[in-house]
């Protein structure tokens, strides 16, 4: 059996390249104090020897770990998967690794904020769609690293998010332009980490009604847990039993809109002939249901969050209070249609008082 081969060292690279070990260190750390000719020799020698720089060893010299950490309440969400899938390549291109902390319940949450395991183990922390208390936000400020808030606006701290208010405003305008005046809004409850977007979308809906000179009818705003079909049926039952039921429903998320459509059609209420339905997000389910929706791009959010984190890591003097606000877009499909004239129940309109 041949003797075990030892791993090449920085000294081996220096000997082959004909330079000092300090020059090898400066070259492999990407410093600009090395001439192009020397850099080429060192990189060639490192390739020939299959030499790789240890991140732990490099961190002792640079003070950096080469890692970006992410804090999420769940991975079981379309938004999270899409955003993280686009974030990872941005970090890989910068030779950075990704560490994900998932804290889905109160016990793990308390443990995370007590220990702050990201300290000394990352160069930046991205907080994805997380409803933080003021105390938790202040605790993250003690990490001594950039903390970027994703999919929510946090005053005085770097944030990347979509303009949920404008998205809901445009969506409600779309329904108003189709002639609808009784527009219901279905918001979600119990969806950990998404209350910022939920509240902002309700604001946009109400702004559009005010703009159109319509009153805010609290009976038209209902809340339901995501995925709870019985609760959804009860919420729709409330809306349909009103003296003046809605002619359109704006659901805060596409998943909720899809459940609305299934429930309505199960009771022989056709969409959009009886009631128009609009969603928000443009998840894959929206395409399956041919659902009109307000589209956001979690992939763009993930990329922008990664770029902002890298910028803050590389430039300590960068603006640590900047906000990157991404647009939304109306995608009209088959679930929204003009309001039928009064008395056209034979063409699909629900009877009204």
pLDDT of 351 strictly over 50: no
For the record, the structure tokens of 193 come out as 């980490």
Q: Is the dihedral of CA 246, 261, 76, 332 positive or negative?
A: negative
Domains 67-162+299-327 and 164-296+331-347 share a fold: yes
- pLDDT computed for residue 65 by the predictor: 82
Question: What is the fold of 10-53?
Answer: 434 Repressor (Amino-terminal Domain) (1.10.260)
10 Å Cβ neighbour count for 44?
Answer: 13
DSSP character at residue 154? -
Residue 5, pLDDT score: 52
* Residue 39, pLDDT above cutoff 80: yes
Among 72-76, 123-127, 138-142, the least confident range: 72-76
Q: Which fold has domain 164-296+331-347?
A: Rossmann fold (3.40.50)
What top-level class would CATH report for the domain 67-162+299-327?
alpha beta
Look at residue 254 in the predicted model and tell me its pLDDT. 96
Contact 306, 67 (CB under 8 A): no
Reply yes or no on whether the pLDDT at 296 is more than 70: yes
pLDDT digits (tens, 9 = 90+) for 214-256: 999 999 999 998 778 889 899 999 999 999 999 999 999 999 9
pLDDT at 166 over 50: yes
Burial class of residue 219 (count of CB atoms within 10 Å of its CB; 0-12, 13-18, 19+): middle
Contact 200, 164 (CB under 8 A): yes
Average pLDDT over residues 44-56: 71
Q: Is pTM, for the whole model, over 0.75?
A: yes
Domain ranges of the chain: 10-53, 67-162+299-327, 164-296+331-347
């Amino acid at each position: 059996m041949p003797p075990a081969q030892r791993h090449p060292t920085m000294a081996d690279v220096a000997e082959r390249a004909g330079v000092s070990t300090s020059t090898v260190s400066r070259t492999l750390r990407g410093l600009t104090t090395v001439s192009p000719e020397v850099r080429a020799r060192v990189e060639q020698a490192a390739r020939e020897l299959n030499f790789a720089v240890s991140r732990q060893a490099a961190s002792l010299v640079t003070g950096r770990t080469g890692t970006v950490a992410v804090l999420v309440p769940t991975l079981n969400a379309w938004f999270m998967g899409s955003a993280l899938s686009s974030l990872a390549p941005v970090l890989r291109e910068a030779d950075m690794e990704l560490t994900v902390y998932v804290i889905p319940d109160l016990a793990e949450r308390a443990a995370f904020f007590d220990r702050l395991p990201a300290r000394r183990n990352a160069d930046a922390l991205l907080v994805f769609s997380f409803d933080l208390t003021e105390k938790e936000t202040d605790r993250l400020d003690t990490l001594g690293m950039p903390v970027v808030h994703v999919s929510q606006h946090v005053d005085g701290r770097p944030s990347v998010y979509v303009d949920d208010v404008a998205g809901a405003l445009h969506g409600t305008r779309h329904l108003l332009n189709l002639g609808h005046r009784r527009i219901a809004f279905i918001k979600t409850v119990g969806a950990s980490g998404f209350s910022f977007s939920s509240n902002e979308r309700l604001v946009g809906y109400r702004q559009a009604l005010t703009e159109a000179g319509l009153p805010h009818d609290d009976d038209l705003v209902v809340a339901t847990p995501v995925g709870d079909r019985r609760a959804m049926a009860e919420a729709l039952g409330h809306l349909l039993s009103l003296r003046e039921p809605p002619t359109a429903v704006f659901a805060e998320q596409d998943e909720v809109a899809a459940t609305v459509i299934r429930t309505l059609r199960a009771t022989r209420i056709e969409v959009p002939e009886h009631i128009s339905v609009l969603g928000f997000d443009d998840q894959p389910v929206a395409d399956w249901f041919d659902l009109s929706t307000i589209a956001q791009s979690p992939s763009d959010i993930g990329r922008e969050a990664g770029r902002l984190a890298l910028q803050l890591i590389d430039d300590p003097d960068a603006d640590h209070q900047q906000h990157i606000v991404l647009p939304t877009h109306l995608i009209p499909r088959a679930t929204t249609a003009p309001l039928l004239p009064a008395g056209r129940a034979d063409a699909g309109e629900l009877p009204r008082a």
